[in-house]
Amino acid sequence: MAKNTYPTPMLDNLESGPWPSFITGIKRLRDDHPDERINSVTNGLLGQLEHSYETRKGYWKGGTVSVYGYGGGIIPRFSEVGDAFPESKEFHTIRVQPPAGNFYTTDMLRQLGDSWEKHGSGLVTFHGQTGNIMFIGTTTDGTQHFFDEINEYGWDLGGAGPCVRTAMSCVGGARCEMSNCNEHGIHRWMVNNFTDDVHRPALPYKFKFKVSGCPNDCQNAIERADFAIIGTWRDDMKVNQEEFKNYIEKKGRQYIIDNVITRCPTQALTLNDDDTIGVDNHNCVRCMHCLNVMPKALHPGDDKGVTILIGGKRTLKIGDLMGTVVVPFKKLETEEDYESLQEMAEDIIDFWAENGLEHERTGEMIERIGLVNFLEGIGIDVDPNMVSNPRQSSYVRMDGWDEEAEKWFERKREEKQAASA
């Protein structure tokens, strides 16, 4: 326990609510941890945080902190009130890439925890939208020592700054029956081939890969990723009519009507008189609701692949943007398939690096220059299947979209005539 603890009456109030408080965790490190260094560091942190609450000002400032050979991965924090709270005058955060799908063993976690208690504050968060394990609170010297130790047994820094950021993937086929692709294989392939872009920031701003194995999108890729890879299928949904009848027997027809049939956004489902379900697969938009409600009766089809969406982001220069479909369906089975996915990502990053403004995400660039110009720049033909129907409230500008769509139909007609000649 720290010898002279700073009074924290305002922080104490944060522990009085109905939910667990982060203050309790920091106090536990201050009061109960056997290492006096960690007691002291967290005591200084609480003191500065109380001071910030009192003055309504933040006192962390940035700087330059890195490890040898890397240009990112560290969030520098130097205290402007270090004289008053010297124990935490340096409190840098280290981002570490998690394994694909966030699959850990207890030995892995224990090993990381032991290293962090040796060189840091003991504060760790998993994982947030950055995708990283966040090791919060160490000195400039501790940053290098911690990295050297964990890198020795196989861990690497994540992305921070204007670079390719840490990729994320869902638990995938290892735990989920809705999986339509090899999520972890895709994740590792992209990470292994873009490592240099992760560690050496040289882009207009951040660029994120996220992989979700089905349109449930548990990784929130469509909303948050510049390059979203979503597992899907293009044949008919698989239906087990006997299991569907079991649902009706258990829940009743009215429940199925109210909670499944009428909730289909495109009215692609029908409940037949013989208690079977009809699926209009042509109009199914893969919202996943019916499959989630009745996973024994309904299941993704067999012709599986991925959809690629570009430009998702949260609010920055402009409001939130959802990803735009640029590849409606792509098989990912062979090494050549993975290489073509990588080449597409490289083309997009190169085009964005040349045409993006400073601090501008990919989606913001598309909004500024127009979707057609972006597609021409990366060498992808305009395809009407990139959107399911004309949007009344577009997430991206559709300058000249009708003309480009007509060109696509003309190309298809010419290809059909040539094939029949």
How far apart CA 247 and CA 296 sit, in angstroms, is 9
pLDDT of res. 389: 43
**Angle at which helices 371-378 and 362-369 pack, to 10 degrees?**
110
pLDDT of res. 1: 62
User: How would DSSP label each residue in 85-104?
Assistant: SGGGSB-EEEEEPPPGGG--
How far apart CA 326 and CA 109 sit, in angstroms, is 38
pLDDT of res. 398: 59
Phi/psi for 299 (5° steps) reads: -150, 150
Read off the amino acid at residue 202: A
pLDDT of res. 233: 95
How far apart CA 4 and CA 20 sit, in angstroms, is 25
Q: Under DSSP, is residue 76 helix (H, G, I), strand (E, B) or coil?
A: coil
Q: What is the DSSP letter of 15?
A: T
Q: What does R_g of the chain's alpha carbons equal in angstroms? A: 26
Distance of CA 341 to the CA centre of its chain: 18
How far apart CA 127 and CA 148 sit, in angstroms, is 22
Phi/psi for 19 (5° steps) reads: -110, 155
Q: Name 82's Cβ contacts closer than 8 Å, sequence gap at least 6.
A: 88, 89, 90
**Six-digit token string for 137:** 């609170």
Predicted TM-score (pTM) of this structure: 0.86
Show the domains of the chain with their CATH numbers.
Answer: 9-55 (no CATH), 60-152 (3.30.70.2500), 168-232+306-420 (3.30.413.10), 238-299 (3.30.70.20)
pLDDT along the chain (421 residues), means of 10: 84 92 94 93 95 95 86 90 93 92 92 94 86 92 93 89 89 92 94 88 90 92 92 94 94 93 92 93 91 94 94 81 88 94 95 92 91 90 63 50 79 87 76
5, 6, 29, 59: which is closest to 123 by C-alpha?
Answer: 29
Q: Is 386 exposed, middle or buried (0-12, 13-18, 19+ CB in 10 A)?
A: buried
